[in-house]
Copies of this chain bind each other. A is one copy, B any other.
């Protein structure tokens, strides 16, 4: 299978990560304009839907294959936009979206992966995590919600967890939606300027912005420690919303293509059934 220029460009090299050297307002691997980018994404819809249906069909004959798309990024980086514009191209019957908010008291009483296990997609589904277990090494690190030893333990626990999932039939696509601090400021200002978007704004968003550098550092550690052969990270330049949506569509498309999803063969005698149908007594 050939890999597209976009996928190649988003692949994170092994080793330490410096996010300040990865541009946010670019469209690596794609030569076209914004409107060509939108058209290219839209044109993927039929193939994505076809592949998703094959994935589902395979699970009806016992396949354990499924896809898990993990979306992480700072506020306003566009996780919701990806769900709407990219995941929205696929038949909703085959999609399972799980949003992770601040953990409840019950969730906090368990290991951090407890609620994540419960949110995993069934076989045959494309699961999407809107935020994820990575919050437990991001916000948890930035705000000291867990001891450093425990944070340290979690990187390994995450790698073990994801390796287990891949062994069970999961294809994992991890995307960090990478925006600049200036772009976030512009998007927050836009929310404040538009009364239809006030409900999306929370004064706490501005308090979080003060921790921008600490979050960047936390992301850099996450990317270095948890980008594995089995479940690599992709840093998706996301100042251009259309490129962000297109790039993630491309990753999803190539992942599904790579599963070599054939239609299942009939487990019954097709000709015999055709004869039965033709010969049935009148039904009314």
Which residues from B are CB-within-8-Å of A284? Answer: 181, 212-213
Which residues from B are CB-within-8-Å of A57? Answer: 199-200
Q: State how many residues of chain A have any CB contact under 8 Å with chain B.
A: 50
Which residues from B are CB-within-8-Å of A276? Answer: 203, 206
Per the bound structure, the CA–CA distance linking A83 and B200 in Å amounts to 28
Task: Say yes or no: is A143 at the interface (Cβ < 8 Å to chain B).
Answer: no
Which B residue sits closest to A284, measured CB to CB? Answer: B181
Q: Mark A186-221, 1 if CB is under 8 A from B, else 0.
A: 001100110110111111001001101100000000
Task: Say yes or no: is A88 at the interface (Cβ < 8 Å to chain B).
Answer: yes
Per the bound structure, the CA–CA distance linking A181 and B281 in Å amounts to 12
Which residues from B are CB-within-8-Å of A188? Answer: 277
Q: Say what secondary structure dominates the interface of chain A.
A: helix
Which residues from B are CB-within-8-Å of A130? Answer: 93
Check if B92 sits within 8 Å of A92, measured CB to CB.
yes
Give chain A interface residues in 168-195, CB to chain B under 8 Å. Answer: 181, 185, 188-189, 192-193, 195
Which residues from B are CB-within-8-Å of A270? Answer: 192, 198
Which residues from B are CB-within-8-Å of A195? Answer: 263, 265-266
Check if B189 sits within 8 Å of A277, measured CB to CB.
yes
Task: Say yes or no: is A95 at the interface (Cβ < 8 Å to chain B).
Answer: yes
Which residue of B80, B92, B192 contacts A277 across the interface (Cβ within 8 Å)?
B192
Q: Most chain-B CB neighbours within 10 Å: which of A130, A199, A273?
A: A199
Per the bound structure, the CA–CA distance linking A195 and B83 in Å amounts to 32
Which residues from B are CB-within-8-Å of A209? Answer: 280, 283
Task: Say yes or no: is A146 at the interface (Cβ < 8 Å to chain B).
Answer: no
Separation in Å of the A150 CB from the closest CB of chain B? 28
Check if B192 sits within 8 Å of A274, measured CB to CB.
yes
Which residue of B60, B88, B264, B265 contacts A92 across the interface (Cβ within 8 Å)?
B88
Which residues from B are CB-within-8-Å of A93? Answer: 80, 83-84, 97, 99, 130
Task: Say yes or no: is A69 at the interface (Cβ < 8 Å to chain B).
Answer: no
Which residues from B are CB-within-8-Å of A206? Answer: 273, 276-277, 280
Which residues from B are CB-within-8-Å of A60? Answer: 199
Give me 15 A-to-B residue pairs in the complex whose CB atoms sit less than 8 angstroms apart, sorted by A's number.
A49-B84, A57-B199, A60-B199, A87-B92, A88-B88, A88-B92, A92-B97, A93-B97, A93-B130, A198-B264, A198-B270, A199-B264, A203-B268, A203-B273, A210-B283
Knowing that A195-B263, A198-B270 touch, tell me 17 more A-B residue pairs with CB under 8 angstroms. Answer: A57-B199, A57-B200, A83-B93, A84-B91, A87-B92, A93-B99, A93-B130, A181-B283, A192-B273, A198-B263, A198-B266, A203-B273, A206-B273, A209-B283, A210-B280, A212-B284, A213-B284
